[in-house]
Amino acid sequence: MIKTETFPVEGLMCANCAMHTERALKNMEGVENAVCNFASLEAQVTYDPARVTPNEMAEAVEKAGYKLVVLQQQGGAENNVTENIEEMRAQNFLQAKRRTIMAVLLTTVVMIINMFFVESDPRLGYPLWLLATVVVFFAGRQFYINAWKQLQQRTSNMDTLVALSTGIAYLFSVFNLFFPQVLGKDAHLYFDSSCGIITFILIGRLLEARAKANTATSLKKLMGLRPKTTTILREGRQEEIEISKVVCGDLLLVRPGEKIPVDGTVVEGSSYVDESLLNGEPVPVLKEQGSKVFEGTLNQKGSFSFRAEKVGAQTMLARIIEMVREAQNSKAPIQNIVDKVAAIFVPTIIALALLSGLLWFLFGNEPGGNLTRALLSTVTVLVIACPCALGLATPTALMVGIGRAAEKGILIKDAESLETAKHIDTIVLDKTGTITEGRPTLSEPLTALTPEQRSILLSLENRSEHPLAQALTTSLADAEAVEITNFQSLTGRGVSGEHNGTTYFVGSERLLKEQAPQLVAQSEEKTENEALTTIYFFTPNALLATLHIADRVKPTSRAALKELEQMGIEVHLLSGDSEKATAAMAQTLGITHFRGGVLPKDKADYVKQLQNSGHHTAMAGDGINDSAALAQADLSIAMGKGADVAMDIAQMTIIQSDLTRIAEAIRLSRKTTRIIRENLFWAFCYNVTLIPIAAGVLIPICGFALPPMFAAAAMALSSVSVVSNSLRLKWA
């Protein structure tokens, strides 16, 4: 069975690193797909456990120069892996912080000695050398370790640039310290440059790590909703147990102020429950006998007991967390371009740095000597040309954008869906459960039916998956079910079945015309209100009942439709209801494009026609009958209270079935895409502008030369600025 799992990866320093890790995993037999995210420092791997194990994947990644961390679950807890990851990252951050503080202190001393004392007393060059050695080879040792690993794999990354630049400056300074007579006046010491580069890069990475941690706050919030223990009721006794030990069927007690541990149904008691972090709604929801409750939601004043129905990875919260994690680690199409650039970036920069140094050495006319200028030009180009900002531009924005959507009750399946949403100019809406509340009720009681007919109608509708069936079964709660043979679900039209040799039908006007056209005239006489949904209960020879069903429009639907139109999105309404009922609904809502009496295939064809006309089309629905149209659409949106099949197909899921969230999702998509473009523009402009300056093009013009330490500071700032720009989405 194919499995998708997420692993933390250590040693990722740039987009190139992520690409190398990804390639190492993809080349393994049994790995279906792998995506390595530089922003989250995780690899999402789809693999066959029968052909490859996580430990084998870890070995392959280690050969590539990185570390894939395999953390085992303990005691059946599903959440402890995430906790271990966070603990590991906190420890790594603390270690990095200590190294950075040490580097800052020692570098400060090195700079003071180099600027004010070493020229007057050359002997101070020796303690300068010792201090620089500690900074370069202790605080900055990871740069050299990683660069060596890359060299062994015949590849290169950001650490290669840092190791080359600081190593060149350090070795040149050591040579001049011990053999000053060789170069004479050109025998300068650049220990301050090598230390400064290391220190500024360490500071930048520390700030970058803190900023990147903030991009995942939405996911952490969702994970923080999970309680660790709960109270189980067994034989009249209360017992506190770990969440991991709860199984389906257990009776659990929830007290005031406690979080609900798993999904289930209330058995006894009542209370108001805060579901805001699942659905984005601040108003608590009343829960009483028969109500559904969900893991992680917060009970308020009352207490109740409920029966556990979904536990572990099957709960709604677990599914949301997994969906958000997978979406955040997915790749947007635009990232493929970035990966191609990153693949050739580092080798190109090394070549440019060497070329710059060679040109200055051969053709320079520097008072301090061409060799010194050549060295400084080479080092500065190597330092300034960090591809980190380029690698962070897309994934950080996606992580924040997808996380922010989850906070609003919008689940986005992958990065491609988020990118697709910004192009949408047309949306097709199902009626029942999408525009309406999806809680249909009969407009009048079924008094005209005999007890036997009521029983037959109940038995037929009990087996129907259509949302309207619930209205009938609720009204027939007092009837007793009877045996039905040859039951058929007639897609988009209704149901049929036999009882005591007679065939009975329940369905739309279309079904009536197909099976008993002679009864159509009689049915028209009994249809009074066009705004109501009308279904018919009949045999081939008799119309037994004309049933009018009402389904209220959601309070937010009108405002949502108006907002979509203001955004330039054309709204279309499709329904399996009669043309008259659909037209009445469309007129009420101000929708000009509509069609009634459509079958599931008709919905898909309608969407295809819009696409063929050049429209970028979204489809929003909640039922099995919408699945074909959802699959056809450029962007598929499932209303969260609908069928699981619709949610499985959909690229977006609106948890609370609120149409206003669709407009929010599209708006967030557009903003996220804009942030990505801004990030990429800044990253490219940074490199295009500063690499020539680092190479020294301004020296002949105005005499300005970019110091290597300033280059390191600019490089660190570029990464931090990209991440900070992405964080703006947290307030979108």
Q: Which residues are catalytic?
A: 430
In 348-449, where do the E strands start and end? Answer: 410-412, 426-430, 441-442
DSSP assignment of 428-461, as one string?
A: EEEIIIIIB-S--EESS--TTS-HHHHHHHHHHH
| Residue showing tokens 């930048």 | 204
**3-state DSSP call for residue 239?**
strand
Q: Kindly tell me the number of DSSP H helices and DSSP E strands found in the chain.
A: 27, 26
Pairing between β-strand 410-412 and β-strand 271-274 as defined by DSSP bridges: unpaired
**Residue-level length of the chain:** 732
d(CA 61, CA 142): 17
Q: Please name which of 294, 299, 300, 281 lies closest in space to residue 320, comparing C-alpha atoms.
A: 294
Residue 78 and residue 318 in contact, taking contact as beta carbons nearer than 8 Å: yes
Of the chain, the end-to-end C-alpha distance in Å amounts to 39
Residue 337 and residue 391 in contact, taking contact as beta carbons nearer than 8 Å: no
| Residue showing tokens 């053709």 | 363
- For 636, the token pair is 């598929």
| Residue showing tokens 């603990």 | 87
Sheet strands side by side (includes 426-430): 410-412, 652-654, 635-639, 617-621, 426-430, 570-574, 593-595
d(CA 217, CA 722): 17
d(CA 622, CA 639): 5
- For 219, the token pair is 């996911």
Phi, psi of 314 (to 5 degrees): -90, -10
Residue 59 host element (H or E): helix 54-63
d(CA 534, CA 490): 17
Tell me how far the alpha carbon of residue 51 is from its chain's centroid. Answer: 28
> Largest alpha-carbon pair distance within the chain?
116
d(CA 151, CA 302): 64
- For 400, the token pair is 């924040």
- For 84, the token pair is 């271990």
Alpha helix segments (H runs only) across 117-178: 125-134, 141-152, 158-178
Pairing between β-strand 617-621 and β-strand 426-430 as defined by DSSP bridges: parallel
Residue 431 and residue 621 in contact, taking contact as beta carbons nearer than 8 Å: no
**3-state DSSP call for residue 198?**
helix
How many Cβ atoms sit within 10 Å of the Cβ of residue 249?
A: 10
Per-residue CA distances from 400 to 205, 323, 405, 406 (Å): 19, 14, 9, 10
